[in-house]
Amino acid sequence: MGLLINLVVGAIHLGLLATDLVFLCLLLRMLSLRWPVPGLLAFNSLSRPLVEWFTGHVDRISQRAGSKPLSERTSLFVGMLVLSVLRMLVVVLCAGSTAG
């Protein structure tokens, strides 16, 4: 493979890693709402700016679509669902482009 292809594949892998990291932060936030264990609360306070930024975007998009403001748990769930679908689409597109 050439240098350009390796750079593109590396960028895709980095994007998937970032998606997984945001998903993990959302999941741990949801778990800390359910079970306030000190370890989860510590990680929650560490990742709070990222989670609030992402859920703020999810809320803004849902309000533009005509929905009422979402609760925090619903916003976290919708964000996790969107990230899962986005990750699956990227993986399928990459796998489909290398299969031929």
The per-residue pLDDT for range 21-80, each reduced to its tens digit, is 999 999 999 999 999 999 889 998 999 999 999 999 999 999 998 878 889 999 999 999
5 vs 14: which has the higher pLDDT: 14
Q: With beta carbons less than 8 A apart as the criterion, state whether 14 and 26 touch.
A: no
Write down the pLDDT at residue 93.
87
Give the pTM: 0.85
User: What pLDDT was estimated at residue 69?
Assistant: 85
C-alpha torsion angle, residues 24, 29, 32, 34 (rounded to 10)? -100
For residue 97, what pLDDT is reported?
65
